[in-house]
Amino acid sequence: MATILSLYDALIQPFVEYGFMRRALVASLAISLGSAPIGVLLMLRRMSLMGDAMSHAILPGAAIAFLLVGSLSPLAMGVGGLVAGLAVALLSGVVSRTTPLREDASFASFYLGSLALGVLIVSLRGSNIDLLHVLFGTILAVDPAALFLIGGIASITLATLAVIYRPLVVECFDPGFLRAVGESGAAYHFLFLFLVVINLVAGFQALGTLMAVGMMMLPAAIAQLWARRLPSMIVIAVSSAALSGYLGLIASFHMRLASGPAIILIASIIYVASLLAGPFGALRRVFARPHLAG
Amino acid sequence: MTTATIRLHDVTIAYERHPAVHHVSGAFEEGHLTAIVGPNGAGKSTLVKALVGELPLTEGSIDRGRLAQNDFGYLPQAAEIDRRFPLAVADLVMLGAWRETGAFGGATRTTAAKARAALSAVELDGFEKRPIATLSAGQFQRALFARLLLQDAEAIILDEPFTAIDGRTTAHLLEIVSRWGNEGRTVIAVLHDLDQVRTHFPQTLLLAREKVAWGPTESTLSASYLHKARAMSEGWDENASVCEEARWRRS
């Protein structure tokens, strides 16, 4: 007998029946709330690839914590990742302010070293399975401790963004004005980099270091194709990230796919669709609507 | 009460030891409109940046009287503004209320009303919701003027504010500048159009790396001074020796 899934079976039942699916769903929603707005701001600061570099930079911290604790403890690896990420961010900040190297150049140099160190440490002790866990994450194995960490990071991110929204936006859009009114742009810049790092730590718990940045940059790119005001961009980014998380989990459940890549692939599909259909996408150029009278 | 007069004491500002502004002294009097004119590379923008504290002085000092940093409204020549940033014109203009809202406070209805009035003053009525990316260069410059209006600063510094702006709008913005003067604000503007300077700015500093003349516009913009300013060499002297005064001061 052919089994035809009802909509309920397909879309809701997995979350009703399995605790790990519920936790994965909550984790991906929390990551969407924190990471997507950060991604939009990163992209507007022309730092899209910085997120990628940063996600590699947190690896040695997580690896050292893994060695010390001896298990894939989310809190220990989170703290380790945080320390490593912040160290790289601060070091490149210092280097770019004291040498002719620009911030992206010094970032690239530090994160490559950091990544090599991380892979080396993991390969020294762990099995290949452990390395795969770190690189690709285990959203279906998110335990309550990891869930609290991810939720906490999302809350801190939203609260901080709410408070520093104006100076952060001005620092990005018109840094001269911020200096002129006597505010320190560097302080907000570093606070923002801190938010980037903790969100990558959250994403890395669930999606691994390679995929964590996907929940930041893909939703941000999608948002740019649909909106021209910052608040609407943030709303669109969060919604598309949440939708990718949900659809990715459903797809991975029914088709037995790895969940992290499934989520990011769904986000990529939304991105390509937006490229074609979005009001600022490619198809609008081809099928331009007639111009207005005035 | 101390004055808001801005005094320069022997100011030198150098890039890689080559002076762009060399031993300039004088005062921008409180409530006066002063134009800064001079050939390209005369150090006009450099001086103005130093006035608002964007550039460190190599030597000398600037006495800003009772003016604090946020008493200055500054319109840079080519602002490092990302004009494609997804903000609305109203968002941009309302930044001018920074002294009321600070970094974290909320904008009130009064702020919004003031912003609307400022936009109206630069003839950008109804532009509040337009994304700034859709403005022309001239319209954008007027929006920045509106932000300056809202800033309500005691000292206003404009670096070539009318570049890329059509004649009618320039005349209109010049009216605003004159009004600032009547309100007792100190205005310092870097300009190239000498007729504009003669009609609207009673005081002029003629700069050619060094101060050529500083005082009432009519006497500063005399033919002999202008000739002297034009004679300035734009290039660096690669083999320049240490400035005598600096050498003397060090010993």
For residue B81, the chain A residues in CB contact (below 8 A) are: 173-174, 176
Q: Are A51 and A34 in contact (CB under 8 A)?
A: no
Give pairs for B113-118: CB < 8 Å, separation 24+: B114/B150, B115/B90, B115/B146, B115/B150, B116/B90, B118/B93, B118/B146, B118/B147, B118/B149, B118/B150
The owner of tokens 């409109």 is B33
Average pLDDT (B100-127) is 89
Name the residue with tokens 């994965």. Answer: A24
The CATH number linked to B60 is 3.40.50.300
CA distance B103 to chain A (A): 6
CA distance A164 to B236: 44
Is there a contact between B87 and A173 if contact means CB atoms under 8 Å apart? Answer: yes
- pLDDT, tens digit (0-9, with 9 covering 90-100), for B26-50: 999 999 999 999 999 899 999 999 9
Nearest-CA distance from A130 to chain B in Å? 42
Residue A140: per-residue pLDDT = 78
The answer to whether residue B20 sits within a structural domain is: yes
Q: Which residue of A has its CA nearest to B147?
A: A177
Average pLDDT over residues B102-115: 87
Q: How many domains does chain B have?
A: 1
Q: State whether B70 and A180 contact (CB < 8 Å).
A: yes
Residue B73: inside a domain:
no
Secondary structure in 3-state letters for chain B? CCCCCEEEEEEEEEECCEEEEEEEEEEECCCCEEEEECCCCCCHHHHHHHHCCCCCCCEEEEECCCCCHHHEEEECCCCCCCCCCCCEHHHHHHHHHHHHHCCCCCCCHHHHHHHHHHHHHCCCCCCCCCEHHHCCHHHHHHHHHHHHHHHCCCEEEEECCCCCCCHHHHHHHHHHHHHHHHCCCEEEEECCCHHHHHHHCCEEEEEECEEEEEEEHHHHCCHHHHHHHHCCCCCCCCCCCCCHHHHHHHC
Residue B245 has pLDDT above 80, yes or no: no
Strands B210-216 vs B203-208: parallel, antiparallel or unpaired: antiparallel
Residue B217 lies in a domain: yes
Residues A167/A178, Cβ–Cβ less than 8 Å: yes
Q: How confident is the model at residue B251 (pLDDT cuts 50, 70, 90)?
A: low
The two three-digit tokens of residue B5, written as one number: 């007069």
Would residue B117 count as lying in a domain?
A: no
Indicate yes or no: CB of B101 within 8 angstroms of CB of A166. yes
8 A C-beta contact, residue B25 and residue B211: yes
Which among A40, A42, A166, A179 is the top mutation candidate for probing chain B, defined by the most B β-carbons within 10 Å of its own β-carbon?
A166
CA distance, residue A2 to nearest chain B CA (Å): 51
Q: State residue A1's pLDDT score.
A: 45
| pLDDT tens by residue, A124-149 | 776 666 667 767 777 777 888 889 99
Is position B171 within any domain? no
Interchain proximity A176–B99, CB inside 8 Å:
no
Q: What is the pLDDT of residue B234?
A: 67
Q: What local confidence, expressed as pLDDT, does residue A53 receive?
A: 85
Residue A281: predicted pLDDT: 80
Q: How far is A85 from chain B (nearest CA, A)?
A: 27
Q: Indicate the class that CATH gives domain A7-275.
A: mainly alpha
Residue to test with chain B: of A44, A170, A173, most B Cβ within 10 A: A173
Q: Please indicate, yes or no, if residue B91 is contained in any of the structural domains.
A: no
Tell me, what's the pLDDT at B192? Answer: 92
pLDDT for A179 equals 83
Q: What does DSSP assign to residue A291?
A: P
Region of poorest pLDDT, from A38-52, A57-71, B52-66, B218-232 = A57-71
Residue B162 tokens read as 């009318």
Delimit the domains of chain A by residue range.
7-275
Token pair 């892979």 is found at: A119
List chain A pLDDT tens, one digit each, 294 residues: 446 678 888 888 899 999 899 999 999 999 999 999 999 999 998 888 888 888 888 888 888 887 788 776 778 888 888 999 889 888 888 888 788 888 778 888 888 888 888 888 877 776 666 667 767 777 777 888 889 999 999 999 999 999 999 999 999 888 888 888 888 888 898 899 999 999 998 988 888 877 889 999 999 999 999 998 999 999 999 999 999 999 999 999 999 888 888 999 999 999 999 998 888 888 777 787 888 887
Give the mutation candidate from A46, A164, A170, A174 for the B interface (greatest B CB count, under 10 A): A174
CB contact under 8 A, A180 and B82: no
Q: For B197-220, what is the mean pLDDT? A: 93
- CB–CB contact A181 B98 (8 Å): yes
CB contact under 8 A, B81 and A174: yes
Tell whether B126 lies on the interface with A, counting CB pairs under 8 A. no
| B positions 42-101 inside 8 Å of A (CB) | 52-54, 68-70, 72-74, 76, 79-82, 85-88, 95, 98-99, 101
- Does B104 contact A182 at a Cβ distance shorter than 8 Å? no
- Encoded tokens for A15: 């979350």
- Chain B contact for A183 (CB, 8 A cutoff): yes
Strand order in the sheet with B59-63: B18-28, B6-15, B59-63
Dist CA A119 CA A289 (whole Å):
52
Residue B55 falls within a domain, yes or no? yes
Q: Which two tokens stand for residue A77?
A: 């690896």
Q: What is the reported pLDDT for A128? A: 64
Out of B70, B81, B85, the one facing A182 most closely (by C-beta) is B70
Q: Give me the pLDDT at residue A280, please.
A: 83
Distance CA A71, CA B152 (A): 60
Question: What would the 3-class secondary structure string for B132-150 be?
Answer: HHHCCHHHHHHHHHHHHHH
Whether chain A has a CB inside 8 Å of the CB on B28: the answer is no
- The complex scores an ipTM of 0.81
Nearest to B79 among A170, A176, A227 (CB): A176
Tell me if B70 and A175 make a contact (CB, 8 A cut-off).
Answer: no
Is residue B143 one of the residues assigned to a domain? no
Q: Determine, for residues A174 and B82 on separate chains, whether the beta-carbon distance falls below 8 Å.
A: yes
CA nearest to B144 within chain A = A177
Q: What is the pLDDT of residue B76?
A: 87
Say yes or no to pLDDT of B247 above 80: no
What's chain B's length in residues? Answer: 251
Q: What is the mean pLDDT of residues B90-100?
A: 90
Chain A residue with the nearest C-alpha to that of B148? A177
The pair of structure tokens assigned to B59 is: 């030597």
What is the span of the domain harbouring residue B34?
Answer: 1-67+190-251
Task: With CA atoms as reference, report the closest residue to A251 among A272, A226, A270.
Answer: A270
When the pLDDT of each residue in chain B is averaged and rounded to a whole number, the result is: 89
pTM (two decimals): 0.85
Enter the tokens of residue A146.
């990891």
Amino acid identity for residue B203 in this structure = Q
